[in-house]
Amino acid sequence: MSARQPAATRPQRIAPLASLPVFFKLGGRRVILAGATDGALWKAELLAAAGADLHVFAEEFPEGFAALAADPPAGAITLHARGWLPADLADAVIAIADLEEPHEAEAFVAAARAAGAAFNVIDKPDFCAFQFGAIVNRSPLVIGISTDGAAPVFGQAIRQKIEALLPAGLKAWAEAARDWRPHVQARALAYAARRLFWENFTRRALSSPEAPPTDADRNALLASLEGIEERAKTGRISLVGAGPGDPDLLTVKAIRTLQAADIILHDDLVSPEVLELARREAKRMLVGKKGHGPSCKQSDINDLMVRLAREGRHVVRLKSGDPAIFGRATEELDAARRAGISVTIVPGITAAQGAAASLETSLTERKRARRLQFLTGHGMDGRLPADIAWEAIADETATTVLYMPRKTLGEFRERALAAGLSPEIPAVAVMNATRANERHLAGTLAGLPEDLARWPNDGPVLVMIGHTFGRLGESALPLQAAGSGGMR
């Protein structure tokens, strides 16, 4: 097997944006609003809430405007009982109008451009340099949602979903973050230490979001700064399970760890969709560990992982499936511990679990499959391991899962049958488990190696053997004949 060196990779380029989401700082700044419709009233309230020095121009004002101007949520509102003039837009940062006639909208846009103001004509996308989105308000935590004017009702529905997910108490935690930040900045911490502090803050906030932060929370977090500086110097390592490929199968803890990473060392088999959930600023390095293909030496991966952590980085070693199942986790754990570096494991959904779920099949049953055994299909030399307990493989009350067995499945079958396993025991091969291009081949152990050999080698394969898979031939899955099995 040829070797290769760890190589830096880049995240996928961001997909095209219909518009750029930005947040205007409007405190004390001049904003112009032309019109006094119901739509304009809501925009006036929104702009005032952002602290704008808002000037509203209209021939007449309904009662709602007078009440809002008398008691704005923030900022100041001045009502001008006349139509707008181009000179009114001087020094304005934003100019908004609710105008019916196209020629009026054109004139307003021309005046805004001349004044250097961003402009928006309500409900007329062709006359807008920016748009308002639906808002989730936990200020200073604010979320904006836009459909680029295509479906405002859809945007509102998304807002309602987010409102239900975000406890109202997060507002208090966001305010606490703003109020406590000067105390953290005063310590002049290195970047890694600051990030670690705010990770601790976030963890505490999300663990009890409905309970407002207390002085005890503040004191405990600020007291933790003493230890954080030392921890940040030595860095840390997280071994994270990426699951078999479907990003929806990532655990919440795995996503949180990916979002906190400084550097991600990932295998070939980690799907691009999973990597897209990582913090975009994190550096990524491919340290390919791919069965029967060119691979980085494990010793090189260990050395790189330790060296980067010693630089004060949070290193995430991202592995397909579960890091503790055929993931060489022991060697990486030992390397981290020898170096005195903090290391944690974040488990993942292993390929066998993902494949069984895709096939809507249980790995165990009380009567026919009372034991589950995982087995690697090849050892360090690439051949079938020599120390397999064949009497255990021949136990037909067990479900056996073979990882990476493509080149050794024929030999495995012969040895298993010689040990007493029935050639008619159901078996299924699954390629690219849980991914969009997943395929499976169902049949019996007798014919599966030859059927699998006809498959193109374009993804990871595992083979599952046991009576629980006998139902696949009877199910409504779209199976097609392929030798003695079926292929989806």
Supply the residues annotated as catalytic.
267, 289
Give phi and psi for 373, each to the nearest 5.
-130, 130
Dist. CA 155–CA 17, nearest whole Å: 16
Provide the angle, in degrees to the nearest 10, between the axes of the packed helices 298-310 and 329-338.
40
Nearest to residue 210, comparing CAs of 271, 168, 270, 177? 168
Q: Which helix (H) or strand (E) holds 272?
A: helix 272-275
What CA–CA distances, in Å, run from 114 to 12, 90, 105, 318? 39, 9, 14, 53
Torsion of CA 117, 123, 125, 131, to 10 degrees: 50
Q: Is 265 buried (19+), middle (13-18) or exposed (0-12) by CB count in 10 A?
A: buried
Dist. CA 269–CA 240, nearest whole Å: 13
Q: Is 97 buried (19+), middle (13-18) or exposed (0-12) by CB count in 10 A?
A: buried
Q: What stretches of 259-352 adopt beta strand conformation (E)?
A: 263-266, 283-286, 295-296, 314-319, 342-346
Q: Is 168 buried (19+), middle (13-18) or exposed (0-12) by CB count in 10 A?
A: exposed
